[in-house]
Amino acid sequence: MPANDMLVQRLTHTLVMPLLVTAILVGVSLTMHEARAAEPISAPVSAPVVQHSEPTTVLKTKPIPLADRWVSPVSGYRLTARFGASGLWASSHTGLDFAAPTGTAIRSITSGVVTEVAYAGAYGYRTIVRNDAGVEFWYCHQTSTSVSVGQRVMPGDFLGAVGSTGNVTGPHLHLEVRPGPDTPVDPFAVLAEHGVHV
């Protein structure tokens, strides 16, 4: 065999053959990929779709009517004496004290009718509001009042202003909640029960 033919044969085996083999393998791979792509894809099994015959009801929260709302009696306060505590005033505190600057607005916690606006000794100037359930709310130590007996008030209505009248050590609202005339209960718990967190 002539030297040129041997050189061509060697080059063919070393250069061309690997290229041919690679081309063949790539072609086979592409053909297999195309065959797989042509196969139908099976969908995953899922739960059957349930059709509802009735329309879906969307629940909406109903706004609370103003007369049924409860609000904080003052703003810008700090609690200084809690229900049941002992101190200068008595062996057992009958209300909740909201210390606030003199003149701070006092607002009705809930709706009701004003049954008293008067000076009441140790309580100072006091406004009593009775709600529709018969519960009394006592707003005490006011420096001024702005409602009158028989007046219907709504939550947030202005009743008077924080003061230092009666037996006090500084300006504050003394709030009492009384389901009966001689039975004060913890105002903190009553307010929390009605969504007012003080």
* 77, pLDDT greater than 90: yes
Torsion of CA 114, 116, 120, 124, to 10 degrees: 30
Residues 79 and 163 in one domain: yes
What is the SS3 assignment for 81?
strand
Do 17 and 89 sit in the same domain of this protein?
no
Per residue in 133-182, pLDDT (tens digit) is 999 999 999 999 999 999 999 999 999 999 999 999 899 999 999 998 78
Greater pLDDT, 129 or 15: 129
CATH number, residue 87: 2.70.70.10
CA–CA separation, 176 and 102 (whole Å): 19
pTM: 0.66
Domain that holds residue 137: 67-193
Instruction: Give domain status of residue 42, yes or no.
Output: no
Check whether residue 28 and residue 72 sit in a common domain: no
For residues 25 and 133, the model is more confident at 133
Same domain, 24 and 74: no
Say if 47 falls within a structural domain.
Answer: no
Q: How far is C-alpha 82 from the chain's CA centre?
A: 25
Report the length, in residues, of the chain.
198
What pLDDT was estimated at residue 33? 46
**Residue 198 domain-assigned (yes or no):** no
User: Does the residue 60 lie in any domain?
Assistant: no
**With bands split at pLDDT 50, 70 and 90, how would you rate the model's confidence at 11?**
very low
- The answer to whether residue 168 is domain-embedded is yes
**Is 80 in the same domain as 169?**
yes
